[in-house]
Amino acid sequence: MSPTRKAIARIVTASKQNVPHFYVKITIEAKPALDFYEAHKAEIACSLNDVIVMACARAIREFPAFRSRLEGDDVVTLPAANIGIVVATEDALVVPVVRSADSMTFEQLAREIGRILAAAREGKAEGLGEGVFTVSDLGMYGIEEFTAIIHPPEAAILAVGAVREQVVVRNNVLKPSKTIRLTLSCDHRLIDGVMAARFLARLKELMENPSQLA
């Protein structure tokens, strides 16, 4: 194993052995977020994942437990939504961090994400260990849903699946739709089921009404 792979193995093994994970899932209507992204991409080099990170940052600002960590027997709540983004490099995964994502405009956030991801692929991952929450997106590979392992000492990680074309029922009428499956892994020592459900409900609201992110 390479040194990087050894480090990953050590971190994920410790996380699964020592962190009491639980999982909650939700399906969101993707079209509003896709329209929001399409409306901005001519001016900003952005992606759907940027919209998801922006929505997470807004929700994390409202739910302090999602920016908390355990230090011994103490719960420490951090002041900003520093969000890690999982990036695949040539031989491993790294998680660079966007600092204070909740204080940025969408344009600022998209540019900062683009910058830190480019740096990470060149071996310069920024903000390692400073994150409060991580987003892991496998949608570009067609993966519909998955569960992710929490990146200690963070309290949660969001797994993002692919955009899927589906038929949904609205007002007793079948209509075509595009959906995304989100799976939230939480540390049960810091977050309970009701809080996780409320967080995902708020995230769904933001994603389906992205004008709130502007």
Note if 188 is an active site residue.
Answer: yes
- CB-based contact 112:132 (threshold 8 Å): no
| Residue in 21, 40, 151, 188 annotated catalytic | 188
Instruction: Go through the domains of the chain in sequence order and give each one's CATH number.
Output: 3-213 (3.30.559.10)
Question: Quick one: angle between helices 31-40 and 193-208, nearest 10?
Answer: 50
Report pLDDT digits (tens) over 31-41: 999 999 999 98
Share of the chain above pLDDT 90, in %: 75
Which residue did the predictor score with more confidence, 127 or 191?
191
Average pLDDT over residues 106-121: 94
CB atoms within 10 A of CB 41: 14
The predicted-structure confidence for 14-27, as pLDDT tens digits, reads as follows 999 999 999 999 99
Specify the pLDDT at position 154.
94
**Is-above-0.75 flag for pTM?**
yes
Please give the full DSSP string across 103-163, using - where no structure is assigned.
Answer: GS-HHHHHHHHHHHHHHHHTT---STT--SEEEEE-GGGT---------TT-SEEEEE---
pLDDT value of position 136: 97
- Please give the pLDDT value at position 194: 97
Q: What is the pLDDT of residues 148-199, one digit of tens each?
A: 999 999 999 999 999 999 888 888 888 888 999 999 999 999 999 999 999 9
Q: Kindly tell me if the per-residue pLDDT of 92 is higher than 90.
A: no
pLDDT above 80 for 91:
no
pLDDT at position 78 is 94
Q: What are the tokens at 143? A: 């993966």
